[in-house]
Structure 1
Amino acid sequence: MVRPSNPEPPSAPTTLGTVAVVGLGTMGSGIAEVLARAGREVIGIDISDAAAVAATSALEASTARAVEREKITEQERQDVLARFRTFSDLQAAAEADLVIEVVPEHYETKREVFAALDAVVRPDTILATGTNALSVTRLAADSSRPERVLGLHFFNPAPAMKLVEIVSSVLTAPAAVATVTQLARDLGKEPVAVGDRPGFVADGLLFGYLNQAAAMYESKYATREDIDAAMRLGCGLPMGPLALLDLVGIDTARTVLDAMYAASGDRLHAPSPILKQLSEAGLTGRKTGRGFYTYEAPGSGTVVPDAETPAEGDGATAAARTVSSVGVAGSGTMASGIAEVFAKAGYDVVLAARSLEKAETAKARIAKSLGRSVEKGRMTAEARDAALDRIAPAGSLDAFAEVDLAVEAVAEDLEVKQQLFTTLDKVCKPGAVLATTTSSLPVVACARATSRPQDVIGMHFFNPAPAMKLVEVVRTVLTADDVHATVREVCGKVRKHPVDCGDRAGFIVNALLFPYLNNAVKMVQEHYASLDEIDAAMKLGGGYPMGPFELLDVVGLDVSLAIEQVLHREFRDPGLKPAPLLEHLVAAGCLGRKTGRGFREYARR
């Protein structure tokens, strides 16, 4: 496409003192509030009188709360309210320096708005679309002022979320981008500059993950409650993916994914059929009162029980076996953490390593951890001493002869684990439950290394085990019901949250987490965005505690690559193939923080 010549395009207004917001739904109202509270004159435009009234009421309510909390004075509140005016006609945008449209996510609707604005606004006015799925370039090309058109993508709720993605097309004038970027900073937001492709950075990564979660639920691999709890507790996310889909709107998610799939051809972006089914049934999430969950009323965030809500005590199908003593095999960080968890909960623990010296070193590590808890006031010195007294170091698995539950936490190598389970089969008493903490290997392969596969189960703790509340309970096709019941009961006693999943690669958390991390690497590999931009986008726009590259370097690039390879082999999906950039870094020995260099460089300790 050849850009039309324009000898002297008018310069963009530098202050953007008057801003029109077209569309006063939830997002438009939020953006209007942010602008008005930052001192801008705001022209709110919506064809619905009810939407305009609701937007005004929302601003009145939020500013009243701010006065109550002494964040602003009553006079400041009145000034904010005076800066917000509502209209039903686009002609009201004539005096605006910037117009932000946030009408429904349909191209023709947006194109009509832009065409009407072309005839109304000044030549130097900047036109911004709030789309997160449609082509900014196409909207710009259909405008009479393509150099003044860009994307301005706020996140919901706009007053609280710090991220704003500023989207340039190949037609956008740099001066317009600079002006809007400064506005975002003036609003107290963190602007991230991105190119024009569906989903941009944050939603481009987020919606693929949400889509996979929907597919996981649709396949009945795990319940909606377990999927959401797993991602909240295992990854520290503010919301589970299915609850987030209900908040975003299932119809909106489907629109974004359709656009992403059209651009990428990646099957991971092809909307899960359940998104289509729910959308066409009108079950689009919170706004209609029902989506993946059922809500108290349309627009409510309060979940109410429905036919899928598990009854109290659901998950166990048999009486549990008695567990009073636990054996933990291993001497690394995970083994030490798991032993600490059991000892603090009152279980007698045998901590076995390849030598008594390694086991004693592991117990010393636990003593330091418990000591820090005492220093922080989380436990008493007496409780610490009692927990340590319950841990008996051992240099051989023979010490597991009388334990009721044996948990292995050795190297993530199938052959090593199988050999260990063969030994456990020989030394553990009949009826003992044998558990593996594997995060990626087949549990059934460990079970088949024993003469009692019905007693073997997965018990995947997360690191650091004393702090992380999640345990993925992994049943094989051979696991006995009472073994499953036993592990769920034990999880409750050690104050962990169990989620049930079947024996397939990645279980819940890693199966959803690592494709997202892999897609982040692909974004950098394709030069779409930088490490810092992507990390900032996911922390500020997605509420993630760490950006994907921070997390990859903490986990270890070699560990991450191994998990991605397992997922790719298991599901045979081309979209799961590890990004070449990740493979190259691992081949170069750049494994993350542990080697001093991964995606970033770190000071050697």
Structure 2
Amino acid sequence: MAFERVGVVGLGTMGAGIAEVFARAGLRVIGVEADAEALARGRGHLERSTGRAVDRGRLTRERQAEILGRVTLTTSREDLRDADLVIEASPEILRYKVSLFEELDRICKPETVLATNTSSLPVTAIAAATGRPGRVVGMHFFNPAPVMKLVEVVGTVVTAPGVVSGIAELAGRLGKTAVAVGDRAGFVVNRLLLPYLNHAAVLVDQGMAGRDDIDAAMKLGVGLPMGPFTLLDLIGLDTAYEVMGVLFDETRDRRHAPAPLLRELVTAGLLGRKSGRGFYGDEAQEEQRPMSGAVTFDVAGPGSEELAGRLRAAGFKPSDDPGVVLRPTDRPVIEHAVRLQDPSRMVGVHLVGDRVAELAATALTSDAAARAARDLMKVAGLTPVPCKDRAGFVVDALLFPYLNDAVRMYESGYASIDDIDAAMRLGCGYPSGPFEMLESLGLARVRDGLRALYAEHREPSYAPAPLLDQLVTAGLSAFPRG
């Protein structure tokens, strides 16, 4: 399939970025906006983006002029009649996209491929509105398009043979990595990412842990580029809410129902960075609380040697009459606490990597013991993450369902292991894909953690994916490939 002239409808930040990507690759681009004012804004997006690249030494002035010279700007969609490919980057409103594609179908030559940059809406519904459903695909770029290397290429049950592969080859020509997927809400990245972000909001809503603590746990403990609430504010809470609604409409999975806290913030107009406030913003600077007075401790249970060693290195020694008893353990911590003469002194400790300590307080843990545990972790060079005594604490409760979702996605034949891993690395900037992470953590550990989550919540989607369960039963430590 030959693509030399490309139309881009909608020149907001995303559309202008897509136009720039095509122009950088040497293609002629026709950029279309609704009116002269919007067209001027689109031109401004292009000039500023390429200008920043010049300022950073990534483009010469001559190269910038070449790129901008390949883009023709117009307010007439009729100018798209000779395009080989037209991609739209319009608002995520299905009826609007359907109307647009009906018009593009009338204007464009029969062999033109029509593509939507939707991040979650059904491509099949858009294709069905045209007289060329076999030549309609999803081509989902990630923001900022000139920087992000991933493109999700979405085929439908009526996509003609060769169209998806042709668009994937074009993505390679653009310097992108293409991941070919079917038409399911959220495709790969949003289908895996957004439920994890929504789950984090649910944990805050339930008082499981605080916003800052959850962000610290996932960034410092797991090594993600940013915590879930920082990322939600960056994405836009309204966007996240809309995607979760699309996911829920398709799956009816309770985990895909937008968190009540998310709904409240969106209703209040607190949308994240775009509005100046979301999960973060306008909060007063937290005062640094002084350390507790004399802190005495003991460490009990299997695996206590590492934690005791850290505290000894910091100048603390275990006491026969401790103010806090630290129990390195999986939950339930309360089962260990009730064996003490004074169960209010026990705090469960779960080390996540070498930087984070989740501190699980039971229903009986005293405030003094909880404060002492936090202070001790800081002295030991660990970031404390206070939480309740619940299955998975914070990190595993967020991470394991995400990994399970990835296994179910692969098991259904929706996408390959390599494509899913590549999508999450390139689309989210994760240090590793879900299958790489699964094998690093250990399949048995993840399977058993999911069983604990399911036993506590009875949420069907927490039950380990059958493939994961079978691999553990078979004694395998990796997913078969090839």
If the length of structure 2 is used for normalisation, what is the TM-score? 0.94
Paired residue for 1:109? 96
Q: Deviations over 1:338-365 (max 9, x none)?
A: 466446x5336xxxxxxxxxxxxxxxxx
Q: Distance in 2 between matches of 1:503 and 1:89?
A: 61
Does 220-229 or 146-155 show the bigger shift? 220-229
Q: Deviations over 1:282-324 (max 9, x none)?
A: 2222222222222xxxxxxxxxx32xx562236x8x934335x
Paired residue for 2:321? 430
Q: Distance in 1 between matches of 2:424 and 2:333?
A: 33
Paired residue for 2:338? 448
- Structure 1, unmatched stretches of 5+, are 1-12, 295-304, 349-402, 405-427, 593-597
Amino acid at match of 1:322: V
Amino acid at match of 1:311: E
**Partner secondary structure for residue 53 of structure 2:** helix
Relative to 1, partners in 2 of residues 1:268 and 1:118: Cα closer, same or farther, differing over 3 Å? Answer: same
**Partner secondary structure for residue 479 of structure 2:** coil
Relative to 1, partners in 2 of residues 1:431 and 1:310: Cα closer, same or farther, differing over 3 Å? Answer: farther
Q: Deviations over 1:71-93 (max 9, x none)?
A: 22221111111122322232232
Contact 1:320 1:482 in 2 (8 A): no
Which of residues 544, 548, 551 is equivalent to 2:434? 548
In the alignment, structure 1 residue 484 sits paired with structure 2 residue 385: no
Q: How far has the Cα of 1:110 moved from its partner?
A: 0.2
Which of residues 142, 150, 153 is equivalent to 1:166? 153
Contact 1:328 1:335 in 2 (8 A): no
Relative to 1, partners in 2 of residues 1:142 and 1:43: Cα closer, same or farther, differing over 3 Å? Answer: same
**Partner secondary structure for residue 357 of structure 2:** strand
Q: Distance in 2 between matches of 1:507 and 1:122?
A: 57
Amino acid at match of 1:144: G
Paired residue for 1:506? 392
Does 121-130 or 221-230 show the bigger shift? 221-230
Paired residue for 1:354? none
Relative to 1, partners in 2 of residues 1:42 and 1:565: Cα closer, same or farther, differing over 3 Å? Answer: same
Does 449-458 or 514-523 show the bigger shift? 449-458
Superposed counterparts of 1:78-227, under 5 Å = 78-227=65-214
Relative to 1, partners in 2 of residues 1:124 and 1:320: Cα closer, same or farther, differing over 3 Å? Answer: farther
Relative to 1, partners in 2 of residues 1:140 and 1:462: Cα closer, same or farther, differing over 3 Å? Answer: same
In the alignment, structure 1 residue 44 sits paired with structure 2 residue 44: no
**Partner secondary structure for residue 523 of structure 1:** helix
Relative to 1, partners in 2 of residues 1:202 and 1:569: Cα closer, same or farther, differing over 3 Å? Answer: same
**Partner secondary structure for residue 86 of structure 1:** strand
Q: How far has the Cα of 1:94 moved from its partner?
A: 2.1
Paired residue for 1:321? 294
Paired residue for 2:403? 517
Which of residues 233, 237, 241 is equivalent to 1:246? 233
Amino acid at match of 2:222: C
In the alignment, structure 1 residue 558 sits paired with structure 2 residue 444: yes
Paired residue for 1:311? 286
Q: Deviations over 1:211-257 (max 9, x none)?
A: 11121122232222122221111211112112222222222222222
**Partner secondary structure for residue 533 of structure 1:** helix
Q: Distance in 1 between matches of 2:40 and 2:308?
A: 59
Which of residues 348, 359, 381 is equivalent to 1:473? 359
Q: How far has the Cα of 1:435 moved from its partner?
A: 1.0
Q: Deviations over 1:447-486 (max 9, x none)?
A: 11211212211222113x2xxx222122122222222222
**Partner secondary structure for residue 58 of structure 1:** helix
Contact 1:118 1:144 in 2 (8 A): yes
In the alignment, structure 1 residue 584 sits paired with structure 2 residue 475: no
Paired residue for 2:275? 288
Relative to 1, partners in 2 of residues 1:288 and 1:88: Cα closer, same or farther, differing over 3 Å? Answer: farther
**Partner secondary structure for residue 95 of structure 1:** coil
**Partner secondary structure for residue 295 of structure 2:** coil
Q: Distance in 1 between matches of 2:294 and 2:32?
A: 65
Paired residue for 2:222? 235
Q: Distance in 1 between matches of 2:52 and 2:238?
A: 32
Q: Deviations over 1:169-202 (max 9, x none)?
A: 1111222222211111011111011001101111
Paired residue for 1:347? 315
Relative to 1, partners in 2 of residues 1:173 and 1:67: Cα closer, same or farther, differing over 3 Å? Answer: same
Does 110-119 or 224-233 show the bigger shift? 224-233
Relative to 1, partners in 2 of residues 1:251 and 1:432: Cα closer, same or farther, differing over 3 Å? Answer: closer
Contact 1:320 1:483 in 2 (8 A): no
Q: Distance in 2 between matches of 1:553 and 1:170?
A: 33
Superposed counterparts of 1:377-416, under 5 Å = 403-404=317-318
Q: Distance in 2 between matches of 1:553 and 1:560?
A: 9
Q: Distance in 2 between matches of 1:155 and 1:147?
A: 24
Q: Distance in 2 between matches of 1:53 and 1:286?
A: 24
How many aligned residue pairs are there?
Answer: 482
Q: Deviations over 1:339-394 (max 9, x none)?
A: 66446x5336xxxxxxxxxxxxxxxxxxxxxxxxxxxxxxxxxxxxxxxxxxxxxx
Q: How far has the Cα of 1:568 moved from its partner?
A: 0.7
Paired residue for 1:21? 8
**Partner secondary structure for residue 107 of structure 2:** coil
Relative to 1, partners in 2 of residues 1:557 and 1:293: Cα closer, same or farther, differing over 3 Å? Answer: same
Does 36-45 or 122-131 show the bigger shift? 36-45
Q: Distance in 2 between matches of 1:285 and 1:584?
A: 42
Q: Deviations over 1:466-516 (max 9, x none)?
A: xxx222122122222222222222222233222221111111111111111
**Partner secondary structure for residue 220 of structure 1:** coil
Amino acid at match of 2:158: L
**Partner secondary structure for residue 86 of structure 2:** strand
Q: Distance in 2 between matches of 1:450 and 1:340?
A: 23
**Partner secondary structure for residue 100 of structure 2:** helix
- Structure 2, unmatched stretches of 5+, are none
Measured on the aligned residues, the alpha-carbon RMSD in Å equals 2.3
Relative to 1, partners in 2 of residues 1:92 and 1:293: Cα closer, same or farther, differing over 3 Å? Answer: farther
If the length of structure 1 is used for normalisation, what is the TM-score? 0.75
Contact 1:320 1:489 in 2 (8 A): no
Contact 2:326 2:349 in 1 (8 A): yes
Q: Distance in 2 between matches of 1:50 and 1:271?
A: 35
**Partner secondary structure for residue 473 of structure 1:** strand
Paired residue for 2:382? 496
Relative to 1, partners in 2 of residues 1:280 and 1:328: Cα closer, same or farther, differing over 3 Å? Answer: closer
Q: Distance in 1 between matches of 2:459 and 2:201?
A: 17
Q: How far has the Cα of 1:112 moved from its partner?
A: 0.8
Amino acid at match of 2:324: V
Paired residue for 1:31? 18
